[in-house]
Amino acid sequence: MKNKVTIYVPSKNRVDLLKRAVDSVQAQTYTNWELIVVNDASTDGTYQYLEDIKSSKIKVIHQPESQGACVARNLAINSATGDFVTGLDDDDYFEPNRLQLFIDGWKAKPENVSVLFAGRKHIKDGVFIREKTNSFDIVKRKDLFIKNFIGNQVFTPVENMRKIGGFDTNLRMWQDLECWLRLLNVSDAMQIKETSYCIDISDRTDRITNSQKEKIRTTYNYIVDKHHFNFFQKKAFESYFLIYDNNIRLKIQKLVFALSFGVFYKAYLKSK
């Protein structure tokens, strides 16, 4: 019997983009899936669209009040009936073979792996911009202190997500990274080389405001405290917010420091 895959999609006020995301799930070559869309109190026609498409394979949860994407994701994960779970943001979409790639990858994975991820394609205004993949296939928890090599979505048994309590609802950014830090406490993650997740960057900007910088610093401190990072882990993790500097010269200097410390930190890990 084929394993069922649950796909969760949190959505708020992006009904046109949501339609594209849903269409990409319906176009999957692997057909044993269920889609759970959580409407986070949208006011733009999302409610009626979801009511029109819900079925035995497409489940809908309507939130009367907006509680954020993490609450929405956790609602879907706790309602999942699949063997595996993976996520999709409402402004992104899947390539048709994404689920099949994960199913095949799961059969071929080493025993110490219980999380899969795949490369991403960046799309802007319908035009392919670049691919993002790793040069290495296995990611360990210690690697995440330097960079989120996994990205924003994983494929894992649904019970794995439930055991760790899903996403941290206190966070408004880096929720994925913090979740992966907990997921990789007991196993490693493996990359599926073929890119199958399309990230739409059309409406996104690299410009970071002062208030956003403060949010980044607050998030950094929260994760460091929650996970009890040691000195070396803290210093390696600083690279996450050092890159968000709009002063190009200062940004380069900070990045050189971060990368240099990353090399030092890797050497430290090998000595442990």
What is the number of other CB atoms lying within 10 angstroms of the CB of residue 203? 10
Quote the mean pLDDT of the chain: 89
pLDDT tens digits, residue range 174-191? 999 999 999 999 999 999
Query: Which has the higher per-residue pLDDT, 106 or 1?
Result: 106
Average pLDDT over residues 23-42: 99
Query: Which has the higher per-residue pLDDT, 79 or 246?
Result: 79
Please tell me the least confidently modeled range out of 35-49, 55-69, 241-255.
241-255
pLDDT tens digits, residue range 99-120? 999 999 999 999 999 999 999 9
DSSP alpha helices (H): ranges in the chain?
15-26, 46-53, 69-79, 98-108, 158-163, 175-183, 210-226, 231-237, 239-242, 248-271
Average pLDDT over residues 192-196: 95
- Pick the closest to residue 84 from 33, 158, 31, 1 (CA basis): 158
Mapped onto helix, strand or coil, the DSSP state of residue 166 is: coil
Q: Which helix (H) or strand (E) holds 111?
A: none
Give the model's pLDDT for residue 248.
47
What is the number of other CB atoms lying within 10 angstroms of the CB of residue 186? 13
Query: Which has the higher per-residue pLDDT, 172 or 12?
Result: 12
pLDDT tens digits, residue range 209-262? 667 778 888 999 999 999 999 988 888 888 776 665 555 454 555 555 555 555
Is residue 270 over pLDDT 80? no
Residues 6 or more apart in contact with residue 99 via CB below 8 angstroms: 5, 7, 28, 29, 30, 33, 86
Give the model's pLDDT for residue 215.
86
Overall pTM surpassing 0.75 (yes/no): yes
Contact 18, 49 (CB under 8 A): yes
Average pLDDT over residues 8-34: 98
